[in-house]
Amino acid sequence: MKLNLTNSVLKKVLTGLLFLGLLIPFQSCSKKIKFETSSVVPAARGDVKVSKNSNKNYVIKINFTNLAEVDRLNPPKKTYVIWMVTDQKNTKNIGQIKSSSSMMSSKLKADFETATPFKPVKIFITAEDDGNVEYPGMYTVLSTTNF
């Protein structure tokens, strides 16, 4: 009887450990980071979720709310550019959000998603006159801390 009770407890412990062993890799594959409060657009909120896909690329998903239309900034701009700082300390333009297009709703919400082979360590958004710029301007709207 004592042996059966010990086997039952051991099975439960091993099952629990197996479950945790399967759960932990899925949690560690994804990071969710909030943007810091903006001094340029204080009402703007957003978060970045970084995960790896089956090709071992980093998938970056960004959600924004209350992001002011770029033509209402002072000075007015044409687009928001999304930048990524890599683990190699390189800064890359990974895309843009044009608030005057259908990408942003009347509720000032926007989503952005991209995949990159480079490991991101920081994401930030600048307001620019041209979305194809190679270097960020001085007008940073939102930024994460390093992650």
**Half-sphere exposure for 65 (CA within 13 Å, toward CB):** 3
Residue 146 pLDDT: 87
pLDDT at 100: 45
Beta bridge partners, 82, equal: 95, 125
pLDDT number for residue 114: 95
What's the 3-state SS for 48-74?
A: EEEEECCCCCEEEEEEEECCCCHHHCC
What pLDDT shows up at residue 110? 87
Per-residue pLDDT at 49: 95
Residue 92: is it exposed, middle or buried by C-beta count within 10 angstroms (0-12/13-18/19+)?
A: middle
pLDDT (0 to 100) of residue 26: 47
Joined tokens for residue 120: 């991101």
- pLDDT digit string, tens, across residues 8-62: 766 766 666 565 555 444 444 678 899 998 888 889 999 999 999 999 999 999 9
Contacts of 136 by beta carbon, 8 Å cutoff, 6+ apart = 81, 83, 91, 93, 124, 126, 128
Average pLDDT over residues 100-109: 57
pLDDT tens across 63-94, in order?
989 988 888 899 999 999 999 999 999 999 99
